[in-house]
Structure 1
């Protein structure tokens, strides 16, 4: 398969995540790392490839490529346009309305119920690993996941979200995911981890394990919301409610439980990339309506939305460089890669005391290409509308662009647009030549 690697959108302890596109322009996410250190990523693929649920991010397989004089292992995953739940919390000022929290908590519980029925423990539920799709939430990042019956005292995940029994190194099973869900509900309400006063991970782990404390509940929560948290954050794992039991809790019986709607479709091409920030959340009450962004109808506005900044005044303030431009990658079959063929019998191998790092967002574009793109789209739209003068102008523009490419001012090898966009240019160019 020929595909194009786009800008890096996240980095973790074991891999980097980039946006990618196929030759036909379809978007997906690719999680990549050196083949020599890809054991955990290969293990994640073996787990996720067995899952099929609207509440879990999809896996499309993997591929080994040769890049920068080394073999790279690439895991292909579903591209979820809304980004991480933790980012959404930040955009809303660090706190979500209880009605929105109710909807999100229910979506996470539906996902956890599916995973637990499959016998899988996620082991790292938190806002950063929950993605916002076009029709709800999706659980992502299974780098720490394990089968529930595997046993063992190895622990993994993020310290602030660990259950007491995990922090003590006793066990990490389905109740640990429920504890982490309770911590994530607090994150949605406060914008911070459930132990904000604990800055040192070692001290936090000790307190979680042995103090007998539980995270502080938000004071403004309703009684039902506080009771739900109490059922999630019971220190004794056998007394914690299951996902099935929590879905029957009175907190979710409200008429507002299913009233959050998403009015954006998942993007299917690079030109839709701006939908990362165009998600609109609607609740039953107009008081709770939250509008994050609204796409522009103008070509220039859509190009600015593509780079994630709807404000014209901010186009030149991004500080982007050419380092993260789109790179075409052609997959090669590598027959003698023993690293891929050797799969551990133990599904939890190499997870001893694995602590997950947070992702950080990176996105860059070249300013000259952005301005060129705006001019190109305006010209294309006018051509399609039948403006003869625009057609003539576009012919001149096409010639100028080609001259710039020849002179090295714009390199086609680092274009920021997918193959489908160039196919459109080629098609219109031939029409213009025929005229």
Structure 2
């Protein structure tokens, strides 16, 4: 096996982590290389044995390991987005609830994989969660790392095997030396709480002895703020039951509305627009939450940003402007040739019609580049119902070929397109 060592990107009690390039028969991979002196590499060897049994996109992958006389190297998947802890600290406050839901779901899926394989992680915390990307997009997902302390379920009640970080230890771990799947769920609940608040659990306790007494023998769990949503508070409650028998499992928590994708999609009811003029469906009723750029009224000197108005109101302002009239000057580059047919309508043929909705179009011949202003008919409203007659469809299109400011939509063009 050939590989090249790069820059050091981290270190811990186990050793160091460096970037590396791993050369295999089929490809060249960028990897994270964990290195420790062989005499003290038991955690890296344990991590390799555990990762060999796991297969989840939410658990870091192990590609290979190398044993030398003086060192032990573990070649892991390189995850470039940084840790969840770094993300929380960079915000200076809690993550949005939607972002916390996304990461919580990914972490839970990783924990479920670990538990189903017969292991307990023993050290779930934000520092041991890496993100695939530094962005907050939907393509960014969480990966659990650092399984050096993981152990089989059979060794969960051994006094000598208690391990982890005190801030995230469960009451039964501190009190009864019990560390199993329920203990991972408690640590996960503390992690979600930290995501939502931006603060560590038990932050009011300032020394280790008081902390362990509070966790193991107190009557309450970490403080959950009242300003969180009802779903978030209920979800945290299911994770932080002091009684491990009442604490939900990873499989049960994945069905909770806080992280359940199906429930989230069912509660999303946005109607798809039928045309560009129906864009009002997207944001008029959701104006308070719409984050699009506002349009401004430059004629009144309001600068580049002004009041927030709906799409329909913007079109209404443009089309009914009485201060500016359209400039119908044109050049050939702005128009395309279409085939149009003369349709002569009279009040006698229709038995009487409203002159405000009459149409005038050219005869059945290819039009020249340009357009006759008489073809543009002033309409009393923005929309006219589409009419189907035999094999032709009449399409009412908005026209906005005005002066350079494009600030007026005044008329509509009625075209008759033969559908054959």
Query: TM-score scaled by structure 2?
Result: 0.58
Structure whose residues are more often helix by fraction: 1
Checking the alignment, whether the CA contact within 8 Å between 1:124 and 1:180 is kept in structure 2 is: yes
Matched, 1:246 2:249: no
Partner of 2:50: 47
Match status 1:4 vs 2:4? yes
Please, which of 206, 219, 225 is the counterpart of residue 218 of structure 1? 225
- Which of 175, 189, 193 aligns to 2:196? It is 189
Residue by residue over 1:27-77, the C-alpha shift from the partner in whole angstroms, topping out at 9 and shown as x without a partner, is 1001111011112211111111121111110011211347xxxx1111111
Q: What whole-Å deviation, never above 9, does each CA across 1:226-281 have from its counterpart, x for those lacking one? A: 0100010000000001111111112234779589xxxxxxxxxxxxxxxxxxxxxx
SS in 2 for 1:182: helix
Partner of 1:179: 186
Provide the C-alpha distance between the structure 1 equivalents of 2:109 and 2:291, rounded to a whole number of angstroms: 27
Structure 2 vs 1, CA of residues 200 and 78 (structure 1 numbering), >3 Å: closer, same or farther?
A: same
1:403 equivalent in structure 2: none
Deviation at 1:2, TM superposition (A): 2.3
Specify the SS of the correspondent of 1:56: coil
Query: Matches of 1:218 and 1:107 in 2, distance apart?
Result: 23
Which digits, 9 at most, give the CA deviation of each residue in 1:264-315, with x for residues without a partner? xxxxxxxxxxxxxxxxxxxxx7759xxxxxxxxxxxxxxxxxxxxxxxxxxx
Matched with 1:19 is: 19
Deviation at 1:98, TM superposition (A): 0.4
Give the aligned partner of residue 397 of structure 1: none
Do the aligned partners of 1:6 and 1:21 also contact (CA within 8 Å) in 2? yes
3-state secondary structure, aligned to 1:26: strand
Question: Structure 1 223/82 Cα, relative in aligned 2: closer, same or farther at 3 Å?
Answer: same
Looking at structure 2, the residues matched to 112 and 194 of structure 1 have their Cα atoms a distance apart, in angstroms, of 20
Output aligned runs, 1:20-35, within 5 Å: 20-23=20-23, 26-35=29-38
2:57 equivalent to 1:58? no
| Secondary structure of 2:172's aligned partner | helix
Distance in 2, Cα, partners of 1:245 & 1:217? 21
Take 2:111 and 2:290, find their aligned partners in 1: how far apart are those partners?
Answer: 30
Q: For 1:341-393, what per-residue CA distance to the aligned partner results, in whole angstroms no more than 9, with x for missing partners? A: xxxxxxxxxxxxxxxxxxxxxxxxxxxxxxxxxxxxxxxxxxxxxxxxxxxxx
Structure 1 unaligned blocks of 5 or more: 260-284, 289-435
Q: Which residue in 1 is equivalent to 2:115?
A: 116
Q: Per the alignment, in what secondary structure is the counterpart of residue 106 of structure 1?
A: helix
1:200 equivalent in structure 2: 207
Distance 1:139 1:254, change over 3 A: closer
Query: In 2, are the aligned partners of 1:126 and 1:180 still within 8 Å (CA)?
Result: yes
Q: Is the 8 A contact 1:4 1:20 kept in 2?
A: yes
Report the 3-state secondary structure (helix = DSSP H, G, I; strand = E; otherwise coil) of the residue aligned with 2:219: coil
State the 1:218 CA deviation. Answer: 2.7
Query: Residues 295-310 of structure 1 correspond to what in structure 2 (within 5 A)?
Result: none
Per the alignment, in what secondary structure is the counterpart of residue 245 of structure 2?
helix
- Counterpart CA distance in 2 for 1:287 and 1:166 is 46
Verify the 8 A CA contact 2:30 2:78 in the aligned structure 1: yes
Runs of 4+ in 1 over 4 A off after TM superposition: 253-259, 285-288
Separation of aligned partners in 1, 2:60 and 2:265: 21
| 1:38 paired to 2:41 | yes
What CA distance in whole angstroms lies between the structure 1 residues aligned with 2:12 and 2:265? 33
Shift of 1:91: 2.1
Instruction: Report the structure number with the largest CA radius of gyration.
Output: 2
- In structure 1, the partner of 2:145 is 140
- CA shift at 1:219, angstroms? 2.9
Q: Which protein, 1 or 2, shows the higher relative CO under an 8 Å CA cutoff with sep ≥ 6?
A: 1
Q: Distance in 2 between matches of 1:219 and 1:83?
A: 30
Quote the offset at 1:142 in angstroms: 0.4
After TM superposition, list the pairs within 5 Å mapping 1:341-360 onto structure 2: none
> Distance between the aligned counterparts of 2:114 and 2:264, measured in 1?
22
> Secondary structure of the residue that 1:240 maps to in structure 2?
coil
Contact 1:3 1:21 in 2 (8 A): yes
Q: State the match for 1:76 in structure 2.
A: 75
Partner in structure 1 of residue 239 of structure 2 = 232
Name the TM-score, length of structure 1 as normaliser: 0.56
